[in-house]
Structure 1
Amino acid sequence: MTQQQTIKLIECPRDAMQGIHDFIDTDLKAAYINLLLQVGFDTIDFGSFVSPKAIPQLRDTAEVLSKLDLGNTSSKLLAIIANLRGAEEAAAHPEISYLGFPFSISETFQQRNTNSSIAQSLETVKQLLELCSKRDKTAVIYLSMGFGNPYGDEWNVEIVERWADELVQNGAKILALSDTTGVSTPEKIKEILPSLVKRFEHTDPAKNIEIGLHLHSTPYTRFEKIQAAYESGCKRFDSALKGFGGCPMATDDLTGNMATEDLISYLNSKGELLNLNMDKWQEALRFSGKVFL
Structure 2
Amino acid sequence: MQTVKFIEVGPRDGFQNVKKYIPTEVKLKVIDLLIDAGVKSMEIGSFVHPKAIPQMKDAKEVVTKTLETHQDKGIEFFALVPNLFGAKAAAECGLKKIDTVISVSESHNKANINRTVEESLQGLERIRETLPDMEIILSMATTFTCPFEGITPIENVLNIIRQGVKIGIHQFCLADTIGQADPAMVRKTVQAVKEDFPDEYFELHIHDTRGMGIASTLAGIEAGIANVQAAVGGLGGCPFAPGASGNVASEDLIYMLDAMEIKTGVDFNKILAAAKYERQVIEGNYSGHQVLIGEHCNT
TM-score (norm 2): 0.87
Q: Secondary structure at the match of 1:257?
A: coil
**Selected match of 2:250 from 260, 269, 293:** 260
1: CA distance, partners of 2:266 / 2:245? 27
Residue number in structure 1 paired with 2:60: 62
Give the alignment's Cα RMSD to 1 decimal. 2.0
Give the counterpart of 1:214 among 205, 220, 223. 205
Partner deviation per Cα, 1:61-101 (whole Å, 9 max, x = no partner): 1111233221563321110011111111111122x232111
Give the TM-score normalised by structure 1: 0.89
2:178–2:209 CA contact under 8 A, matched in 1: no
Pairwise CA distance, 1:280: 3.4
> What secondary structure does 2:70 align onto?
coil
Mark the runs of 5 or more structure 1 residues left unpaired by the alignment: 202-207
Aligned mates of 2:269, 2:255 — CA distance in 1 = 15
**Aligned partner of 2:163 among 166, 176, 181:** 166
Amino acid at match of 2:112: N
CA distance in 1, matches of 2:151, 2:37: 41
Residue matched to 1:281 = 271
* Structure 2 CA distance for partners of 1:210 and 1:282, relative to 1, 3 Å: same
Letter in 1 for 2:28: A
- Counterpart in the other structure of 2:32: 34
Amino acid at match of 2:208: S
Q: 5 Å matches for 1:106-255?
A: 106-133=105-132, 136-152=133-149, 155-201=152-198, 208-218=199-209, 220-247=211-238, 249-255=239-245
In the TM superposition, residue 154 of structure 1 has moved relative to its aligned partner by 8.0
Percentage of pairs with the same residue:
29
What letter is aligned with 1:81? V
Q: AA paired with 1:157?
A: I
| Amino acid in the other structure paired with 1:35 | L
2:89 paired residue number: 89
Q: Residue type of the partner of 1:87?
A: A
Aligned pairs, number: 280
Which residue, 4, 18, 21 being the options, matches 1:20? 18
5+ long unaligned stretches in structure 2: 284-299
Change (3 A) 1:270 1:188: same
